[in-house]
Amino acid sequence: MLTNLQARDVETLIHPYTNLATFRDSGPLVLERGSGVHLYDTEGRPYLEGMAGLWCTSLGYGNAELVEAAREQMMKLPFTHLFGGKSHDPAIELAEKLKDMAPMPVSKVFFGASGSDANDTQMKLVWYYNNAIGRSEKKKIIARIKGYHGVTVASASLTGLPANHTDFDLPIKNVLHTSCPHHYRFGKDGETEEEFATRCADELEELILREGPETVAAFIAEPVGGAGGVIVPPATYYEKIQQVLAKYDVLFIADEVICGFGRLGTMFGSQAMGMTPDTMSLAKALTSAYFPLSAVLVPDNIYAAMLDESRKIGTFGHGFTYSGHPVGAAVAVKTLEIYERDDILGKINALIPLFWKRLDALRDRPLVGEVRGKGFVAGIELVQDKATKRAFPPAKAVGARMTALCQQEGLIVRNLGDTIAVCPPFVIKPAEIDELFDKLGRAMDRLEAETKA
């Protein structure tokens, strides 16, 4: 029996990434408040947040400094825009900070409201750039199978997941997909990770040659894949990929929406994975998710082309009402200040050994095919047969069942198919890491018993 709030929800809201049919019977988990790494539902039951919201609530819940930064800015200047040459101090300061922090040369920063619109902007800027420099045929953008880059028409096209394309008439023209760099699932028998990385690079080169290098403009990749299943490319993958991109003058876009600001143990995921991108998309932990905000870091060559087009057309015809929102920018400035002042990277790296000790202990579980990840994010892939890597039939929805059992134990995680993602807030304490994995272990005990029955 649904509560009044649940029934009202079912009759009024459309929930992203939800089976809308079965949801009508189950209803939502209605959350009322959060504190630290715990959330509380309307009955007062606590849940340990094992996913940092959606990979984003890096500083946990109830951070008084972020709340105060938002309050102060709302009192001072709750909104203005950047259109037509207007500006404000929070956006300027944030852009300066991001330029200083970036692991590659950055000329300018473009602000939006989400990772999706950041990657949508990336695609438009690549096309705009190539038109400006007279390469009107160089427009195709290559993403990866199982990559995730958002859900706008453009960014969902870049995303390499069937559910984001099926019956949405996607992907659109000029978007291609190359190999998924997941050795456990796509490596051939006897193929080492080094050989697999070489094959992935070769397949990218073959795709570029097949399409024509003069038509391929950019390649986009997450340092470590998120929603596609927490996929960590082999050690030499990016080195080999970047050799191919350089050979054919293909821009490299780093989608740092999940990995940026410490998730892999470095300020940017690109640093952890040996990537040297041309441009970068940021969001999520930029504000610890306290306010919607994204950023695209623009290199000098693209900015120079934007100047040329503005002279020709008379304007730069792109931007959003909330580009550089003053409240979001103020919250982001305070978030970055906290990361530096409190040595968040140091704290993350001190916690990583315990995080991986508890993860490694899951490898011998009968349903666990692979434990993968890097830094402070991991995926636990559940399989029907460990020896053969045989997956469960999709109809069994084993990953969704595991997530539900975790929720019953007071733990929020997310299933990506039959991979269970774990992505805790950066402020989690050692005892809370143990709490997380104790709850997850009890849920897995129950799942093992169910699958044997």
pLDDT value of residue 441 = 98
Is residue 241 very low, low, confident or very high in pLDDT (cuts 50, 70, 90)? very high
Give the pLDDT mean for 206-232: 98
140 — pLDDT class (breaks 50, 70, 90): very high
The phi-psi region of residue 347 (left if phi > 0; otherwise alpha if psi is between -120 and 50; otherwise beta) is alpha
Tokens encoding 430: 């050692």
- DSSP codes joined into one string, 167-180: TTT-SPTTEEEE--
Cis amide prior to 326 (ω within 30 degrees): no
The percentage of the chain sitting over the pLDDT mark of 90, rounded to a whole number, equals: 99
| Share above pLDDT 70 across residues of the chain, in percent, rounded to a whole number | 100
d(CA 39, CA 61): 8
- The predicted pLDDT at position 433 comes to 98
Q: Assess whether pLDDT exceeds 90 at residue 453.
A: no
Task: Give the architecture (CATH level 2) of 4-62+343-452.
Answer: Alpha-Beta Complex (3.90)
Q: Supply the DSSP string of 331-353, one letter for each residue.
A: HHHHHHHHHHHTTHHHHHHHHHH
> Can you give the pLDDT at residue 239?
98
Domain range annotation of the chain? 4-62+343-452, 66-341
- Cα separation, 303 vs 436, in Å, equals 45
CATH number of 66-341: 3.40.640.10
The two tokens of residue 359 are 């993860």
Length of the chain as a residue count: 453
Per-residue pLDDT, averaged over 173-199, amounts to: 98
66-341 shares the fold of 4-62+343-452: no
- Reported as a single tens digit per residue, the pLDDT across 388-397 is 999 999 999 9
Residue 1 has pLDDT above 90, yes or no: no
Does the predicted TM-score (pTM) go above 0.95? yes
- Distance of alpha carbon 372 from alpha carbon 363, whole angstroms: 10
pLDDT in tens, 369-404: 999 999 999 999 999 999 999 999 999 999 999 999
Cα gap 241→449, rounded to integer Å: 43
- pLDDT tens for 416-451 read 999 999 999 999 999 999 999 999 999 999 999 999
pLDDT digits over 75-127, tens only?
A: 999 999 999 999 999 999 999 999 999 999 999 999 999 999 999 999 999 99
pLDDT, tens only, 21-70 = 999 999 999 999 999 999 999 999 999 999 999 999 999 999 999 999 99
Q: Is the pLDDT of residue 240 over 90?
A: yes
Q: Which of 378, 363, 448, 442 is nearest to 407 (CA)?
A: 442
